[in-house]
Amino acid sequence: MTVCEYQPGLEGIPAARSKISYVDGQKGILEYQGIPIEQLAAQSNFLETAYLLIWGELPSKAALEDFEQDVRDHRRIKYRIRDMMKCFPESGHPMDALQACAAALGLFYSRRTLDDPDYVWEAVVRILAKIPTMVAAFELMRNGNDPVTPREDLDYASNFLYMLTEREPDPFAAQVFDVCLTLHAEHTINASTFSAMVTASTLTDPYAVVASAVGTLAGPLHGGANEEVISMLDEIGSVENVRPFVEQAIANKQRIMGFGHRVYKVKDPRATILQQLAEQLFEKGGSDPYYEIAVELEKVVEEKLGHKGIYANVDFYSGLVYRYLGIPRDLFTPIFTMARVAGWLAHWKEQLSVNRIFRPTQEYVGVHNVPYVPIEKRS
């Protein structure tokens, strides 16, 4: 049954009915469960936002404390997963390591009692709690060091930065990092969330759902763009080189990383907030020459491509914040994963509540009734 014309990339085709988040691409609006992202960024924190996304309401003080404690209690990873990481090549990309570890989590926990609320709660807690530990562990191990044990006396963001650097972070840096996680937590039916939903619709386990989504987020057109933005700023090198760089990219029909969006045809509201966070960091800790290049780049791209609805997206300023916090470039997308896993889990739960396996159709443009040619008769 074909109900509509083929749309490349399913552009404009609703793939679900969802209450989790809302985006208005013309007005630059993003809401999580109806709450504007600006309010969550200013007043909430990542774990409270994850609870909101997954269970559909802001938690009471007691419920949030229970959730936060449960996550603290599950931050450690099995030694076998650490041992598995010891076999990974140091040169491997952390997103590939993370995808392998996310799938491996499923080996340790019972599979598919999806109708048991306790199983769902435990899976949500374990995945939220263990992804940061796995990201930090791979970073230390690929540098030849033992991973550090998570600290239960530190909040979610501070503990991750501690596990990554073996030092307690500056409280302001941890708070900025936590806001970045809130901003990256959810964004309706983006490519990786759609992967999660399709995988969830077969009723496999949540660890396989997350592993599927991690592989999708890794691509440079999606979550991998933040890392590419910094490489692009490396290449540009100075404010004077921005305009020639943009003109050359447009002439060569090259994508300028960190710009454009399937839905936003104005500046991504998350980019606006991330830019403000970057400015706060620079005010406190000293300016960053890359920021001047980025601001000039945004100005020139808007001048040249704004008429096509191409503006800065979430990936444009996030890398500058992470770089300023001393986070290695190839960990930017694993950090995106740490945040977006909240959205993936929310859509996993929502998909299970109204499940029908995804199986779209196609427009066949091939041939019919072609005779088989034996190999000895082929040219």
82 vs 261 by CB, closer to ligand SDX: 261
96: alpha, beta or left, given left = phi > 0 and alpha = psi -120 to 50? alpha
Closest approach, Cβ 190 to ligand SDX, in A, equals 3
Task: Give the burial class of 259: count Cβ atoms within 10 A of its Cβ; 0-12 exposed, 13-18 middle, 19 or more buried.
Answer: buried
Tell the smallest beta-carbon distance from residue 13 to ligand SDX (Å).
Answer: 13
Q: In what order do the strands lie in the sheet with 21-24?
A: 21-24, 29-32, 35-36
Listed in sequence order, the residues at least 6 apart from 25 whose beta carbon sits closer than 8 Å to its beta carbon are 261, 263, 264, 265, 266
DSSP 8-class letter at 312? B
Measured from the CB atom, the residue of 160 and 336 that comes closer to ligand SDX is 336
To the nearest whole angstrom, how small is the minimum distance from the Cβ of residue 257 to ligand SDX? 5
List, in sequence order, every residue forming a beta bridge with 31; answer none if it has no partner: 22, 36
**Among 104, 153, 154, which residue's Cα sits nearest to residue 130?**
104
> Which residue, chain included where needed, has tokens 């997103």?
95
CA distance 107 to 38: 39
What is the C-alpha separation between 200 and 282, in angstroms, rounded? 42
The tokens describing 192, both together, are 């990786």
Here the tokens at position 272 are 């606006």
CB of 259 to ligand SDX, least distance (A): 4
Q: Where are the beta strands (DSSP E) in the chain?
A: 21-24, 29-32, 35-36
Q: Which is nearer to ligand SDX, 59 or 219 (CB)?
A: 219
Minimum separation from the CB atom of position 189 to ligand SDX (A): 8
- For 131, the token pair is 């992804």
Q: First-to-last CA distance in the chain? A: 39
What does the CA dihedral 194, 196, 197, 203 come to, rounded to 10 degrees?
160
Tokens encoding 55: 């269970």
Q: Which residue's CB is nearer to ligand SDX, number 74 or number 262?
A: 262
- CB nearer to ligand SDX: pick between 48 and 315: 315
CB of 18 to ligand SDX, least distance (A): 13
Minimal distance in Å, beta carbon 186 to ligand SDX?
Answer: 8
Contact residues toward ligand SDX (CB under 6 A) are 9, 187, 190, 221-222, 225, 255-263, 308, 310, 313-315
Please give the single-letter amino acid code of residue 44: S
Tally the C-alpha atoms within 13 A of residue 372's C-alpha that lie toward its C-beta.
2
Helices and strands in the chain: count of H runs, count of E runs = 16, 3
The residue (of 263 and 266) whose beta carbon lies closer to ligand SDX is 263
Residue nearest to ligand SDX (CB): 260
The catalytic position among 261, 268, 307, 368 is: 261
Catalytic annotation on 187? Answer: no
Question: Which residue in the list 155, 178, 205, 315 is annotated as catalytic?
Answer: 315
What size, in residues, is the chain? 379
| Nearer of residues 205 and 296 to ligand SDX, judged by Cβ | 296
Q: Which is nearer to ligand SDX, 126 or 267 (CB)?
A: 267
- Closest approach of ligand SDX to the CB of residue 205, in Å: 23
Could you confirm whether 315 is annotated as catalytic? yes
- As annotated, the active-site residues are 261, 315
